[in-house]
Structure 1
Amino acid sequence: MRERGRTRRLLGLGARTGGAMIRTRLGGQADWRALGEALFDGLSELKGPAMKLAQIMAQWDDLLPPDLAEELARLQRQAEPMPWESIRRTLVEQYGDPEAHFREIETRPFASASMGQVHRAVTHDGETVVLKVQYPGLAEVLESDLAQVRRLMRLGRWLKVPQARLDALFEELAVSLRGELDYRAEAQALERYRQRYRQMDGLVIPEPLPVLCGERVLAMRFVPGTPLRDLEGADDALRQKAAVTLADWITEELFTHGELHADPHAGNFAVDDQGRLVIYDLGAVIAVPEERLRAMMLLLESTLAQDPMAMDEALLRLGGRQGQGAPLALYRESAEAVSALFAPGEQDFGDVRVHRRLRDLTPRVWAAMDRLQPPADTLLLSRTLNGHYWNLVRLDARLDMQARTAPLLAWAKR
């Protein structure tokens, strides 16, 4: 990875993205499909933090122009793989002679991500494992890439996100990416989650193999499953079982353990043939303080009560909301849209009318962002929860959200 060439390409992609946003702001038309294709081609080859940022943006299904979102979503499933020769060098650095540990290693990856790619292998004992291998040279170019990502994030000012919030959001992203470089930390997270959720029958977390793990290679037992994005048309009972497990797991993560899986794109999750939810990637886990949770639940309560003044007060308590706050009409319409998911009885996450209404409101919410000014950690938490929401949409989940949230709202007041 030649640092100077990477920087030029990232700057070029950033300039092209900024130009499209400026044309749109000035009332012109942008070719979002062409921009998306250029970003896919460039970031798929470059990998690293910029590709990670694009994957995060792709999870904002309700924010980006559809053509751009569709192209960026391809980075979650069709990214160009690193040549095998480069990956093998990392394996040699880890193991010396990989053939001493593995009878066979598939040279073609079955998953390519922003920081590494995954290869199946078979041990000499005949067990199938997966090897998550970090891209060569990534640690050396990380800080340079992050500097370019910071420049790209300045485009958020066109969405009226204050610079201080963008800087804080960048620091959250930078800390997360630096942490993801050490695969031994992810191996520890996998084992921690395996122990934590061992009684949750509907959840499967692959077992790390410490003797085969290192700083840049993560080895796990192979757990087959169908990715969430490929479950359209699958058996309804199987999808509903996985949806209930996903909702139960997120609730326990947040309200019992004060953590949240912060990389919710669909490629990190699958469903096995028993309807169990499989979590493949634990490289990004964020802490969620109890006080933040209580404040967010009070915002939800005022939203469900459709009380604009209480919503404004809850935003102040969260640490956001500047000046006059958002127009009361926007609070009211947002509350009406969100409340549909919390009506009595089962709510259908596959009902396009619900998230279409939320999507239609999003541009107005972003237009008021200079007055709302949510804290950076709330932006990150919101983005993560939004990603999990869309995973429930992909599963066509039917959940009684009112029953699920009632005890949490009561807890927030204690």
Structure 2
Amino acid sequence: MRQAGRTRRMLGLSVRTGTTLLRSRVGGNADWQALGESLFDGLSELKGPAMKLAQVMSQWDDLLPPELAEELARLQRNATPAPWEDIRTTLEQELGELQALFRHVEPAPFASASMGQVHLATTLEGQQVVLKVQYPGLEQVLEQDLAQVRRILRLGRWFKVSQSRLDALFDELAESLRQELDYVAEGNMLRRYRERYDAWGNIRIPAPVDSLCTSRVLAMEYVPGTPLREIEQVDDERRQHVASTLADWLTEELFVHGEVHADPHAGNFAVDDQGRLILYDLGAVIAVPPERLRGMLALLSATLERDPVAMDEALRGLGGRQGEGAPLALYQESAEAIAPLFAPGLQDFGDVRVHRRLRELSPRVWSALDRLQPPPGMLMLARTLNGHYWNLVRLEARLDMQNRTAQVFQTYAGQGVGLPS
């Protein structure tokens, strides 16, 4: 699609989204399913930054209307694939004649994502590999697409989110998308993570195939597994083992290495036949500075203490909550909603009562955005942690979160972070 056509299509989707949001805000009849279907059809064809933004939004399924969240979630698993001939052209431009390298490349995609498409292949030596191929022309249209995404994000002004906050959210999203176009960096990240977790017997990370990697093609060994979104097929004992591994890994990432895998949708994770957690995609990894971790722990400590005044102070310390009038009652109800997950002993992440209470709070969160004002630099981290949380929900994890958090607080006890009593 030509850039002019892309721009018109994205503007049309932006207008339709804005109209639906306005109807919802003034108490009218908002057809969220129709909006979701329209966004799925349009963004599935367009790919790129706008589709990535919708995938980000779909992981906030505790905030979005269920009908809209369900339609946007389809972009993670059923996006319209790019034509094989376009993908083949990119492969030949990057690698040369395919017959000289492969016995076979499967024309039907193994997966279709926002920035690239994955195809299975077999090398002449008989090795099965996956080829992650960047969509043709994406680098050339990225900046123009991002300009349209900035316009879409400005709809947040209807919720009285300041322009500076919206700009900060856009800058963070744009940097993440530019990072995802760098397949050389992703290959290096795969190597670094493989070395980091080499001693962990319960995590698998595919190895890059260096001879087949370029700036627009990332080749990796084929590591089959059951996708996390289909994990209900696995028995409970193995599912709990995977949930514990995921929780251990996230804790290690954040509090030992100060970074986190920032694309947590369920399609990027799987479980092999030995119950090991497979990490498929490392195109987006974000750093979490120590001062931000301390601020997050201060907010968590205040939340576990159910102290709304301390929660407000912690949010301000992170750079949020710029408006007048602290929503203390909202803080209190939020703390009470998540408290069951941090009670003593094993707690069930599949407990729908927790999710129901959080969903019931979401309209009040939206209405308080003019006072809450999301902290700058926290968009991707908040989205990431939310996505990993929902992966634990899908696993129906049973975790002792009180003990886990106590160990983390103990580590940070000498750095100005108070332990909850």
Determine if the alignment matches structure 1 residue 353 to structure 2 residue 353: yes
3-state secondary structure, aligned to 1:37:
helix
Question: Could you tell me which residue of structure 1 aligns to residue 66 of structure 2?
Answer: 66
Tell me how far 1:232 sits from its aligned partner: 2.1
Within-5 A mapping of 1:81-92: 81-92=81-92
Report if aligned partners of 1:298, 1:412 keep a CA contact under 8 Å in 2: no
Tell me how far 1:325 sits from its aligned partner: 4.4
Report if aligned partners of 1:326, 1:368 keep a CA contact under 8 Å in 2: no
> Deviations along 1:375-397, whole A, 9 cap, x unmatched?
12223211110000000000000
Report if aligned partners of 2:61, 2:69 keep a CA contact under 8 Å in 1: yes
Q: Which amino acid aligns with 2:372?
A: L
Report if aligned partners of 1:134, 1:216 keep a CA contact under 8 Å in 2: yes
- Give, in whole Å, the separation in 2 of the partners of 1:319 and 1:55: 26
Question: Could you tell me which residue of structure 1 aligns to residue 142 of structure 2?
Answer: 142
Which ranges of structure 2 fall in alignment gaps of 5 or more residues?
Answer: 415-421
Within-5 A mapping of 1:260-299: 260-299=260-299
Q: CA RMSD in A?
A: 1.1
- Give, in whole Å, the separation in 1 of the partners of 2:161 and 2:193: 35
- Give, in whole Å, the separation in 2 of the partners of 1:240 and 1:112: 29
- Give, in whole Å, the separation in 2 of the partners of 1:160 and 1:351: 33
- Give, in whole Å, the separation in 1 of the partners of 2:209 and 2:310: 50
Question: Could you tell me which residue of structure 1 aligns to residue 76 of structure 2?
Answer: 76
- Give, in whole Å, the separation in 1 of the partners of 2:413 and 2:58: 35
Within-5 A mapping of 1:170-189: 170-189=170-189
Q: Which amino acid aligns with 2:298?
A: L
3-state secondary structure, aligned to 1:377:
coil
- Give, in whole Å, the separation in 2 of the partners of 1:323 and 1:117: 43
Report if aligned partners of 2:115, 2:134 keep a CA contact under 8 Å in 1: yes
Q: Which amino acid aligns with 1:273?
A: D
Question: Could you tell me which residue of structure 1 aligns to residue 229 of structure 2?
Answer: 229
Which deviates further from its counterpart, 233-242 or 13-22? 233-242
- Give, in whole Å, the separation in 2 of the partners of 1:254 and 1:320: 21
Question: Could you tell me which residue of structure 1 aligns to residue 239 of structure 2?
Answer: 239
Report if aligned partners of 2:227, 2:269 keep a CA contact under 8 Å in 1: yes
Report if aligned partners of 1:129, 1:220 keep a CA contact under 8 Å in 2: yes
Change (3 A) 1:219 1:367: same
- Give, in whole Å, the separation in 2 of the partners of 1:92 and 1:323: 55
Determine if the alignment matches structure 1 residue 391 to structure 2 residue 412: no
Which ranges of structure 1 fall in alignment gaps of 5 or more residues?
Answer: none
- Give, in whole Å, the separation in 1 of the partners of 2:6 and 2:315: 40
- Give, in whole Å, the separation in 2 of the partners of 1:208 and 1:239: 28
Which deviates further from its counterpart, 70-79 or 354-363? 354-363
Tell me how far 1:323 sits from its aligned partner: 4.2
Question: Could you tell me which residue of structure 2 aligns to residue 408 of structure 1?
Answer: 408
Within-5 A mapping of 1:31-42: 31-42=31-42
- Give, in whole Å, the separation in 1 of the partners of 2:380 and 2:163: 15
Report if aligned partners of 1:325, 1:372 keep a CA contact under 8 Å in 2: no
TM (normalized to structure 2)? 0.96
Report if aligned partners of 2:319, 2:376 keep a CA contact under 8 Å in 1: no
- Give, in whole Å, the separation in 2 of the partners of 1:27 and 1:62: 20
Question: Could you tell me which residue of structure 2 aligns to residue 212 of structure 1?
Answer: 212
- Give, in whole Å, the separation in 2 of the partners of 1:410 and 1:238: 30
- Give, in whole Å, the separation in 2 of the partners of 1:306 and 1:328: 10
Report if aligned partners of 2:321, 2:375 keep a CA contact under 8 Å in 1: no
Tell me how far 1:411 sits from its aligned partner: 2.6
- Give, in whole Å, the separation in 2 of the partners of 1:146 and 1:323: 28
Determine if the alignment matches structure 1 residue 169 to structure 2 residue 173: no
Question: Could you tell me which residue of structure 1 aligns to residue 125 of structure 2?
Answer: 125
Determine if the alignment matches structure 1 residue 26 to structure 2 residue 22: no
Q: Which amino acid aligns with 2:227?
A: P
**Percent of counterpart pairs with the same letter?**
71
- Give, in whole Å, the separation in 1 of the partners of 2:373 and 2:345: 34
Tell me how far 1:4 sits from its aligned partner: 0.4
- Give, in whole Å, the separation in 2 of the partners of 1:373 and 1:39: 26
Question: Could you tell me which residue of structure 2 aligns to residue 258 of structure 1?
Answer: 258
Tell me how far 1:81 sits from its aligned partner: 0.4
Which deviates further from its counterpart, 33-42 or 360-369? 360-369
Q: Which amino acid aligns with 2:259?
A: E
> Deviations along 1:39-60, whole A, 9 cap, x unmatched?
1111101100000000000000
3-state secondary structure, aligned to 1:206:
coil
Which deviates further from its counterpart, 110-119 or 320-329? 320-329
- Give, in whole Å, the separation in 1 of the partners of 2:63 and 2:93: 42
- Give, in whole Å, the separation in 2 of the partners of 1:393 and 1:182: 31
Tell me how far 1:366 sits from its aligned partner: 2.3
Q: Which amino acid aligns with 2:199?
A: Q
Tell me how far 1:326 sits from its aligned partner: 2.8
Question: Could you tell me which residue of structure 2 aligns to residue 301 of structure 1?
Answer: 301
> Deviations along 1:55-107, whole A, 9 cap, x unmatched?
00000011111111101000000000000000000000111111111110000
Q: Which amino acid aligns with 2:37?
A: E
3-state secondary structure, aligned to 2:377:
helix
Question: Could you tell me which residue of structure 2 aligns to residue 195 of structure 1?
Answer: 195
Within-5 A mapping of 1:304-343: 304-343=304-343
Q: Which amino acid aligns with 2:296?
A: M
- Give, in whole Å, the separation in 1 of the partners of 2:173 and 2:340: 32
> Deviations along 1:149-181, whole A, 9 cap, x unmatched?
000111122333222111101101111111111
TM (normalized to structure 1)? 0.98
Q: Which amino acid aligns with 1:3?
A: Q
Report if aligned partners of 1:298, 1:409 keep a CA contact under 8 Å in 2: no
